[in-house]
């Protein structure tokens, strides 16, 4: 489930040139919250889910609220490091077409990120990325590469990069709004 950080230099360059944030998914920090404090909830919940199910957990075999946390955290890091190209280079166990991953963003209400997924998915037959990685990449690469983000604000990568700041805030809100869904996880 874990990916290499191959595209970190490219992602840093993109953040410098294209910017990051500003979508309707953003939540303002209260005066007593720091960015680190905001991250603690999703991070701790993610760790508790892995403690319960193990590192090789299949997304389709755990409850939907836990799917949402795992899929959003994993895809958020991957997309931030290399865009949809990097996401499509691999698989999430139990979610070969990233259908559950896209649904996870809908579950937490990250609307700007969903729009990026929707635009990326429209390239594929039935708006679903093929389970076969080579086929998925062939289709994706015939339409986009990560450099498109610098030139086209409406590319799926640019759209996701613009939504990134709000995604984890929305995830924290989702966890806070659904405490019973995570209450039985180990500490």
Please give the residue that has the higher pLDDT: either 31 or 158.
158
For the cut 70, the answer to whether the pLDDT of residue 18 exceeds it is: no
Using one digit for the tens of pLDDT, what is the confidence trace for 39-82? 689 999 999 999 999 999 999 999 999 999 999 999 999 999 99
* Over residues 17-33, mean pLDDT: 38
Domains of the chain with bracketed CATH: 11-25+32-181 (1.20.1420)
Token look-up 């603690």 returns 40
- Give residue 160's pLDDT: 96
The helix-helix angle for 64-88 and 35-53 (nearest 10°) equals 100
Q: How many CB atoms lie within 10 A of CB 76?
A: 21
Give the three-state DSSP class for 159: helix
Prediction pTM value = 0.79
- Give residue 39's pLDDT: 60
For the cut 80, the answer to whether the pLDDT of residue 97 exceeds it is: yes
């Amino acid at each position: 489930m874990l990916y290499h950080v191959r595209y970190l230099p490219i992602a840093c360059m993109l953040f410098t040139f294209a910017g990051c944030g500003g979508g309707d998914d953003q939540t303002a920090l209260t005066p007593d919250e720091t960015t680190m404090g905001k991250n603690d909830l999703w991070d701790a919940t993610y760790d508790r889910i892995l403690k319960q199910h193990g590192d090789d957990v299949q997304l389709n075999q755990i409850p939907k609220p836990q799917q949402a946390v795992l899929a959003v955290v994993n895809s958020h890091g991957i997309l931030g490091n290399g865009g949809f190209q990097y996401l499509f280079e691999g698989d999430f166990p139990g979610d070969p077409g990233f259908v559950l991953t896209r649904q996870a963003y809908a579950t937490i209400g990250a609307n700007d990120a969903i729009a990026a997924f929707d635009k990326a998915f429209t390239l594929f037959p039935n708006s679903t990325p093929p389970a076969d990685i080579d086929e998925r990449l062939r289709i994706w690469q015939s339409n986009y590469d990560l450099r498109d983000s610098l030139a086209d604000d409406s590319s799926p990568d640019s759209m996701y990069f613009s939504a990134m700041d709000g995604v984890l805030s929305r995830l924290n809100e989702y966890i806070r709004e659904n405490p019973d869904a995570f209450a039985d996880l180990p500490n």
